[in-house]
Amino acid sequence: MGTLRMVRLSIETTVDLRSDALYRVYVEVTMDLRPICRSAVGMDVHLNLIEVCAIVEDASGEAQVHRRRFGGFRRDRLEMAQWIAGFAPETVVMESTGIYWKSPYVYLERLGIRALVVNAHHVKTVPGRKTDVGDAEWLAMLARAGLLRGSFIPPEPLRNLRQVSRHHQRVTAMLAAEKNRLVRVLGDAGIRLTAVVSDPHGVAARAMIDCLLDGGTPQQALAHAGRLRAPREELAAALEGELSEEHLFVARMIRRHLDVLEADLAALERTLVAHLEPYQAAMDLLMTLPGVDTLAAAKLLVEIGEDMSAFGSAEKLAKWAGICPGNRESAGKRKSGKTAKGNRYLRALLCEIAWSAARTASQFKSRYQALVIRRGAKRAIVAIAHKLLKIVYVLLARGVPYRDSTVDYEALAVKRKAPRWIRQLKKFGLLPQTA
């Protein structure tokens, strides 16, 4: 194959030729983009416009450029996929522009074409871009030269379940906001329940609030206190307030919304877990980690999949998630260790798991206690999340459950099973009688 394109770079440098003058020297450097594949397609995806450029090498070795524009509707996407498939391209590349790339990607996938979804920032940093070259053509040229690396795209079943998992996260945030709003409305009416109850949305506190909103008196609401440790006199004083008709109207509306959101969360959880039955083995492995329950394992699996070969190493997975320390060094000096941008849904999930794992009898508790003293709580949690993600990679790549280095699993098994063993030995008369 011949050279696809010769790019001239103008590099501006400053040279100190005299003590009192600085001169600018322009150096032209020639860089050749040598193709490594015969056909490549670049796609510039917009809301209702898709620009496609196909570069195909003919029998004589010359590169033929084909350009075409398509609309953004379903019939246009189908026609675009069929047009691209007609070239039998070796590689197809598109930028990850918001959510617009997803639908064209699906139509190409159905025709057996796995497109590369590349980071727009990586494309921008490749030198030699000319202003007269369209985005789609530039992508095709870089793809044909092998200068682009595709992002991780999970299989279609997991990709579709991301909608359920991420909506669950949004509904959870809405539920927390509505709970805080209800507390503020009651506080505006003079009801200071949060002053004596640690969780104003627990079973007992919720029952007392429901009694007040249904027209009950503070003394009647006090009957629902249950096993709350707060003194009854303080609870009675906290429940006394001035609930106006407006307060009752808003608080009852919020209560109805809370019931709807809780029902939606339960439905989302059932749907997510039910659709992940084919991945039950991977979920069981993830649930051996401290702080990971069924829902957390399902969300982890939806975000990163079960095939770790797509990432190559635990370090690359951490970089993709944006949970590893930044590597910014110049002239031997460490500039900043701020984490890079990554999958924000996975980052939030890992931090939640890290908070739970730091409170368990495992290595993560001692590691958190060692880090929090000198780095602070938030940085310590990010460090725990980083370690957790690397362990998740090992579990899924090797297919082995998690075993904590600080836990004596044999002693735990004996402690759990010893009472049953003793009962069975006594039952069959095999246990020596003690004096």
Domains and CATH numbers, the chain: 39-151 (3.30.420.10), 158-277 (1.10.287), 278-328+337-398 (no CATH)
Token pair, residue 144, equals: 């044909």
Report the C-alpha gap between 265 and 169 in whole angstroms: 9
**Which amino acid would we find at residue 34?**
R
| pLDDT for position 29 | 38
| pLDDT for position 36 | 85
Residue 327's alpha-carbon distances to 154, 333, 336, 338, in angstroms, are 27, 11, 7, 8
Report the C-alpha gap between 304 and 274 in whole angstroms: 18
Q: Is the pLDDT of residue 8 over 60?
A: no
Q: Is the pLDDT of residue 18 over 60?
A: no
Q: How many CB atoms lie within 10 A of CB 193?
A: 20
Q: What's this model's pTM, rounded to 2 decimal places? A: 0.81
Q: Is 302 exposed, middle or buried (0-12, 13-18, 19+ CB in 10 A)?
A: buried
Averaged over 94-123, what is the pLDDT?
90
**pLDDT one-digit tens code per residue, 136-155:** 888 998 998 888 888 899 99
| pLDDT for position 54 | 94
Token pair, residue 88, equals: 């039998």
Backbone dihedral angles phi then psi of residue 415, each to the nearest 5 degrees = -65, -35
| pLDDT for position 116 | 93
| pLDDT for position 358 | 94
The number of CA neighbours under 13 Å toward the Cβ of 329 is 6
Q: Please state, rounded to an integer, the average pLDDT across all residues of the chain.
A: 86
Report the C-alpha gap between 138 and 174 in whole angstroms: 43
Backbone dihedral angles phi then psi of residue 257, each to the nearest 5 degrees = -65, -40
Which candidate, 292, 370, 310, 287, places its Cα nearest to that of 153?
A: 310
Q: Is the pLDDT of residue 34 over 50?
A: yes
Averaged over 375-388, what is the pLDDT?
94
> For residue 274, what are the contacts with CB-CB under 8 A and spacing of at least 6?
none
| pLDDT for position 351 | 95
Q: Is the pLDDT of residue 432 over 90?
A: no
State the maximum Cα–Cα separation within the chain, in Å, rounded to a whole number: 104
Averaged over 60-89, what is the pLDDT?
92
Averaged over 202-206, what is the pLDDT?
92
Token pair, residue 261, equals: 């959101």
Residue 326's pLDDT band (cuts 50, 70, 90): confident
Residue 117's pLDDT band (cuts 50, 70, 90): very high
DSSP code string of 99-115:
TTTHHHHHHHHHTT---
Which candidate, 327, 341, 322, places its Cα nearest to that of 385?
A: 322
Averaged over 310-337, what is the pLDDT?
84
Strands 91-95 and 116-118: parallel
